[in-house]
């Protein structure tokens, strides 16, 4: 029955799209699905397109495998050794929100333009979710299991392979699923912006945007969405079939004295990294990797220059927060409505899963043609990609309302508004906040990406401009600013989450 409803929803969406393209909007801007489907069928028979798909898929797979190989062992070490975890977590928390697309100008200067660049960027972007999930999952392995293994005199190697890794595996795979999407975004974005090698992003730019073939752009978008949907479904199937046991719990609160010790050790570790970086960079005198003192000096000149502050930094921050807030409101409203609407998700669930799987860089040409270059394109780009995590998490949260609460609310005959704001939203809040944090990271990625493509202002534009003038210290300064914004916004949202969900009893790292 659910399959039939999904088919009904799909057919209904296609009929509406066909009618809108034929009678309401310009078919040159939004071709009807009949034309897009025909173009899909012709594309899968074009040798050039298949070569581009193979290049993108291979680069994505190599990057994801490299990220797993790098992140999992390091995450095991960080998770098992408290001193290392305390010292490294501030740096991981800073690097994790830094979008890989922000490094595109720097990496293209260092490595040139080619497959090595997109693989490097995608690997960097994909490492952090896996590393973060691995370290936290390993740190929270059930102590009773560890004590039991020690009582049986289990060797360290056996404990790692038979207790720690299996216990953390479901959470690690969740990180891999997230990294798979992020790596695909990084690969396609690099191909689209700088090209230099074959790939789906470059195909869209050359054969779609430059040639004015919106049917090609949408056809590639559909095929890429199907690829992303297949990958996500495959990883989810592996997790359900082979890793169906519960994941590790969330980390608990530290005592006040332990928090102070953690803060002191973390600051000392960050200071040590900066000192070592300063010494090595000063001795090597490599222009591509300037010392922190030079980056800080250049950052002071750029960040606080009145023209750049009011003309680039604050407008970028406004677009980021504005787009994220719009996406959050739309996602929460639609998610709660769908989650409480009985069988509604049976009709639209497949469409939403597909939309979430589409790499956002492929939609940039569509918005550039529809809205022309400017803040409106950047805003729509951010909203289009940042809505889905909030919406889908809100759906799950709305469906998780306890049956006892539902029966109690009916017995007291509370109003619809009291039901939504007093029962449904509080019950869904933990999952909604998880979606908001992921949405914020995606919004930052899309803000930088949209400003790297043809705009004349913003942080991304200035980053690209610094590359054009070979201002290496300036490039590093803008990259640090993007990372700092991601870190600070994520920490602020985490503070709001902890205070808003203090009643929930869970802890959030």
Secondary element (H or E) of residue 101 = none
Ordered DSSP codes for 180-245: HHHHHHHHHHHHHHH--S-SHHHHIIIIIITTT-HHHHHHHHHHHHHHHHHHHHHHHHHHHHH--S
Distance from the Cα of residue 447 to its chain's centroid? 12
Q: How far is CA 51 from CA 54, 120, 200, 365, in A?
A: 5, 20, 9, 21
Determine the 3-state secondary structure of 77 from DSSP: helix
Which residues, 6 or more positions from 196, have their beta carbon under 8 angstroms from its beta carbon?
108, 112, 113, 114, 117, 202
- Write out the two tokens for 389: 């995590």
Rounded CA separation 98/125 (Å): 8
What are the start-end ranges of the H helices in 416-471?
416-419, 425-452, 459-468
Structure tokens at 465: 């401009």
Same fold, 23-252 and 290-509: yes
Q: Give the pLDDT score at 260.
A: 61
Cβ-based neighbours of 449, under 8 Å, separated by 6 or more: 99, 101, 189, 193, 360, 361, 364, 381, 460
Backbone phi and psi for residue 456, each to the nearest 5 degrees, phi listed first:
-115, 15
d(CA 442, CA 7): 30
**Residue burial 107-122, b: 16+ Cβ < 10 Å; e: rest:** bbbebebebebbbbbb
Query: Which residue has tokens 């799909």?
Result: 10
What is the longest distance spanned by two Cα atoms in the chain?
A: 75
What is the separation of C-alpha 282 from the centre of its chain, rounded to a whole number of angstroms?
35
Q: Is 97 exposed, middle or buried (0-12, 13-18, 19+ CB in 10 A)?
A: buried
- pLDDT recorded at residue 251: 42
Torsion of CA 447, 450, 452, 458, to 10 degrees: -50
Give the domain ranges of the chain: 23-252, 290-509
d(CA 33, CA 221): 12
CB of 447 within 8 A of CB of 435?
no
Distance CA 394, CA 385 (A): 16
Tell me, what's the pLDDT at 507?
47
For 285, other C-beta atoms within 10 Å of its C-beta total 9
Domain formed by 23-252, architecture: Orthogonal Bundle (1.10)
Angle at which helices 314-339 and 472-500 cross, to 10°: 40
Q: What is the pLDDT of residue 71?
A: 92
Separation CA 427–CA 264 (nearest Å): 37
Q: Print pLDDT tens along the chain (509 aa).
A: 677 887 888 888 888 988 988 888 777 778 888 888 998 898 888 888 898 889 889 999 999 999 999 999 998 888 888 888 777 877 777 777 777 778 888 888 888 777 888 899 999 989 988 988 888 888 877 777 777 777 777 777 787 777 788 888 888 888 888 888 888 888 888 888 776 568 888 888 777 666 667 888 888 888 888 888 888 888 777 777 776 655 544 444 444 455 566 667 667 777 888 888 889 888 888 777 888 899 899 999 899 989 888 888 999 999 999 999 999 999 999 988 888 887 788 788 888 888 888 888 788 777 877 777 778 888 888 998 899 889 988 888 888 777 676 667 677 777 777 777 777 888 888 888 888 988 998 899 888 888 887 677 888 888 888 887 888 888 899 988 988 888 899 889 888 888 887 765 544 45
pLDDT score recorded for residue 326: 95
473, 106, 117, 474: which is closest to 287 by C-alpha? 473
The rounded distance, in Å, linking the Cα atoms of 461 and 392 is 32
pLDDT in the model for residue 74: 92
- Rounded CA separation 355/142 (Å): 37
Domain spanning 290-509, CATH architecture? Orthogonal Bundle (1.10)
């Amino acid at each position: 029955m659910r399959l039939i409803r999904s088919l009904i929803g799909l057919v209904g969406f296609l009929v509406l799209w066909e009618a809108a393209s034929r009678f309401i909007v310009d078919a040159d801007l939004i071709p009807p699905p009949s034309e897009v489907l025909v173009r899909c069928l012709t594309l899968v028979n074009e040798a050039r397109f298949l070569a581009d798909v193979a290049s993108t898929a291979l680069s994505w797979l190599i990057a994801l495998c490299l990220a797993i190989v790098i992140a999992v062992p390091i995450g095991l070490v960080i998770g098992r050794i408290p001193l290392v975890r305390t010292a490294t977590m501030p740096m991981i928390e800073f690097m994790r929100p830094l979008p890989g697309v922000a490094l595109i100008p720097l990496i293209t200067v260092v490595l040139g333009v080619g497959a090595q660049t997109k693989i490097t960027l995608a690997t960097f972007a994909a490492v952090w979710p896996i590393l973060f999930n691995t370290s936290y999952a390993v740190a929270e392995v059930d102590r009773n299991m560890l004590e039991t293994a020690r009582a049986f005199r289990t060797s360290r190697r056996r404990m790692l392979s038979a207790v720690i890794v299996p216990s953390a595996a479901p959470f690690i795979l969740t990180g891999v699923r997230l990294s798979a999407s992020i790596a695909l975004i990084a690969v396609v974005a690099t191909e689209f912006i700088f090209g230099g090698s074959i790939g789906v992003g470059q195909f869209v730019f050359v054969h779609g945007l430059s040639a004015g073939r919106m049917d090609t752009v949408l056809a590639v978008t559909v095929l890429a969405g199907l690829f992303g949907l297949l990958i996500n479904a495959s990883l989810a199937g592996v997790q359900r079939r082979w890793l169906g046991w519960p994941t590790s719990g969330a980390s608990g609160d530290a005592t006040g004295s332990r928090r102070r010790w953690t803060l002191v050790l973390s600051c000392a570790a960050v200071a040590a990294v900066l000192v070592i970086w300063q010494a090595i960079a000063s001795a090597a005198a490599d222009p591509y990797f300037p010392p922190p003192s030079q980056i800080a000096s250049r950052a002071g000149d750029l960040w606080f220059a009145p023209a750049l502050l009011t003309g680039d930094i604050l407008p970028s921050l406004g677009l980021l927060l504005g787009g994220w807030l719009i996406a959050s409101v739309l996602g929460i409203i639609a998610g709660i409505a769908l989650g409480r609407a009985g069988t509604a998700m049976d009709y639209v669930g497949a469409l939403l899963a597909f939309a979430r799987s589409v790499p956002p860089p492929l939609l940039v040409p569509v918005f550039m043609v529809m809205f022309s270059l400017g803040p409106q394109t950047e805003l729509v780009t951010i909203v289009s990609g940042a809505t889905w995590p909030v919406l889908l998490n809100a759906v799950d949260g709305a469906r998780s309302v306890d049956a006892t609460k539902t029966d109690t609310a009916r017995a007291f005959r509370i109003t619809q508004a009291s039901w939504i704001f007093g029962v449904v939203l509080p019950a869904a809040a933990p999952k909604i906040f998880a979606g908001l944090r992921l949405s914020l990271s995606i919004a930052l990625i899309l803000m930088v990406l949209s400003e790297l493509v043809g705009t004349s202002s913003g942080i991304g534009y200035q980053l690209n401009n610094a590359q054009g003038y070979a201002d290496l210290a300036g490039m590093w300064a803008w990259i640090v600013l993007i990372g700092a914004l991601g870190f600070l916004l994520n920490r602020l949202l985490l503070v709001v989450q902890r205070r808003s969900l203090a009643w929930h009893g869970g802890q959030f790292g």
